[in-house]
Chains A and B, each alone.
Chain A
Amino acid sequence: DAGITQSPRHKVTETGTPVTLRCHQTENHRYMYWYRQDPGHGLRLIHYSYGVKDTDKGEVSDGYSVSRSKTEDFLLTLESATSSQTSVYFCAISGLAAYNEQFFGPGTRLTVL
């Protein structure tokens, strides 16, 4: 597996609390992505980054924000978690945008009660 980790791997939280998920890579890849995976929906892009401090929205960005202050870290924040954000979150990295293989992290299972 590519050098990509996610933390935490599992989290249970309550509605209304803020949550931050971290993605860390050691590959020096320029592009980083956050997806959520839900049954029947496949992988849906939340936000992505094309460089330090350069981010853009994906198809399901409402309720999420991201930050990338250095190449190796990409943070996903749920400002006020809701039950609809219960999901498995995957981070992915790519060296040359979406035209090349994306390497996925191990995933974070988030449960919002």
Chain B
Amino acid sequence: GENVEQHPSTLSVQEGDSAVIKCTYSDSASNYFPWYKQELGKRPQLIIDIRSNVGEKKDQRIAVTLNKTAKHFSLHITETQPEDSAVYFCAAVMEYGNKLVFGAGTILRVKS
């Protein structure tokens, strides 16, 4: 069925280093890929998204890249800070835009 695989499940980095989270999706018709951040005890919130007509999008320290041929997309966080510590979820739209399918999440820990 439709699914999104996300790796790694946990990631620890030193403050100031970069972090990369990767996702692959199954539905070749998917054309919208958002990333959500969830801090401990909070609700998920959108941090960046990308549509299939572009290969990369940046917003300050975060960027997302998309490879439609390989059906994978990645989140890049540069100059990580302790407040980046959270769970990050990738997602891909399925079924003509009515549903988002989420990856299982990545716990990012930034050590200071």
A residues engaging B (CB < 8 A)?
1, 33, 35, 40-45, 48, 50, 56, 58-59, 90, 97-99, 101-102, 104-107
Stretch in contact with the other chain, from B11-19, B55-63, B69-77, B98-106? B98-106
Q: In the complex, what distance in Å separates the CA atom of A43 from the CA atom of B37?
A: 12
Q: In the complex, what residues of B have CB within 8 A of residue A56's CB?
A: 98
Q: In the complex, what distance in Å separates the CA atom of A99 from the CA atom of B2?
A: 17
Nearest CB of chain A from residue B49's CB, rounded to whole Å = 7
- CB of B100 within 8 A of CB of A42, answer no
- CB of A42 within 8 A of CB of B32, answer no
- CB of B97 within 8 A of CB of A98, answer yes
- CB of A41 within 8 A of CB of B45, answer no
Residue of B nearest to A35 (CB): B102
B-side interface residues, number (CB < 8 Å): 24
User: Count of A-B contacts with CB under 8 A?
Assistant: 54
Nearest CB of chain A from residue B28's CB, rounded to whole Å = 17
- CB of B44 within 8 A of CB of A43, answer yes
Q: In the complex, what residues of A have CB within 8 A of residue B1's CB?
A: 59
Contact of B99 (CB < 8 Å), options: A1, A48, A107: A48
Nearest CB of chain B from residue A23's CB, rounded to whole Å = 12
Q: In the complex, what residues of B have CB within 8 A of residue A1's CB?
A: 43
Q: In the complex, what residues of A have CB within 8 A of residue B34's CB?
A: 101-102
Known: A97-B97, A99-B93, A101-B34. A44 touches B102 (CB 8 A): yes
Residue of A nearest to B6 (CB): A42
Contact of A45 (CB < 8 Å), options: B99, B104, B105: B99
